[in-house]
């Protein structure tokens, strides 16, 4: 099977075009139809294992509302995931589905989101990630500061993800799904593109 520092298996599972179509169809008021597309970044530009992520509404694939680079490291026998944003996301819109565009991205184009590192652990049958404790991942949404509480779990046939933002003073939910986790299934795998 896999093991706690198996970055390659984790990356092969994460590198897919994911959709929650079934969930959105069954429960339309609570779940929009979302696509999450993750592709490995070429080793020529990113010598450390790094993935490019785009998140979009299915009806607006070319206007992703969240673009990130995820860098996978091994720290003290555990997988650590660093979360980066793009300095100028306009240039790379849609790049998860346009490999030629993706080749132009370099480490100079990205910026670490401080406090938003995650640990990803092997459960025996899946990998499970969550933001490091301490409420340090601060996200301002509609002018309001929040801290991130999240988790995701992935294997070869699904990605389950729950990202929520809470008020640091009252601990009330400010953003994120009220109905629970998103259930994504891979539509197309890019596992064969993982070079590391």
Rg of the chain over CA atoms, in angstroms? 16
- At its nearest, how many Å lie between ligand CYC and the CB of residue 182? 4
| Segment interacting with ligand CYC, rule: CB under 6 A, options 39-47, 72-80, 102-110, 145-153 | 145-153
Between 11 and 100, name the residue whose CB sits nearer to ligand CYC: 11
The three-state secondary structure class of 9 is helix
The residue from 61, 93, 130, 139 that contacts ligand CYC (CB under 6 A) is: 139
Q: Does 83 bind ligand CYC (CB under 6 A)?
A: yes
Of these, 24, 95, 163, 183, which contacts ligand CYC (CB under 6 A)?
163
Q: Is the Cβ–Cβ distance between 71 and 81 less than 8 Å?
A: yes
Q: Which residues contact 150 (CB under 8 A, 6 or more apart)?
A: 118, 130, 131, 161, 162, 163, 164
Distance CA 191, CA 8 (A): 9
For ligand CYC, give the closer residue by CB, 34 or 102. 34
Q: What is the distance between the alpha carbons of residues 136 and 134, in angstroms, rounded to a whole number?
A: 5
24 in contact with ligand CYC (CB under 6 A): no
Binding mask 41-80 for ligand CYC (x = CB under 6 A): --------------x----------x-x-x----------
Residues 107 and 87: their CA atoms lie apart, in Å, by: 11
Distance, CA of 119 to CA of 63 (rounded, Å): 29
* Residues within the interface to ligand CYC (CB under 6 A): 34, 36, 55, 66, 68, 70, 81, 83, 113, 116, 131, 137, 139, 141, 148, 150, 152, 161, 163, 182
């Amino acid at each position: 099977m896999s093991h706690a520092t198996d970055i390659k298996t984790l990356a092969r599972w994460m590198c897919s075009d994911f959709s929650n179509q079934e969930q959105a169809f069954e429960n339309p008021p609570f779940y929009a139809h979302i696509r999450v597309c993750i592709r490995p970044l070429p080793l020529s530009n990113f010598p450390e294992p790094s993935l490019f992520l785009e998140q979009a509404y299915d009806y607006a694939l070319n206007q992703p509302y969240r673009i990130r680079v995820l860098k996978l490291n091994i720290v003290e026998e555990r997988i650590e995931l660093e979360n980066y944003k793009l300095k100028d996301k306009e240039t790379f819109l849609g790049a998860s589905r346009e490999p030629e565009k993706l080749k132009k991205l370099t480490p100079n184009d990205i910026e670490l989101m401080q406090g938003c590192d995650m640990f990803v652990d092997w459960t025996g049958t899946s990998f499970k990630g969550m933001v490091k404790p301490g409420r340090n991942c601060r996200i301002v949404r509609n002018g309001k500061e929040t801290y991130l509480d999240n988790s995701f779990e992935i294997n070869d046939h699904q990605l389950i993800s729950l990202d929520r933002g809470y008020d640091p003073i009252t601990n009330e939910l400010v953003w994120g799904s009220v109905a629970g986790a998103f259930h994504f299934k891979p539509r197309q795998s890019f596992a064969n593109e993982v070079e590391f």
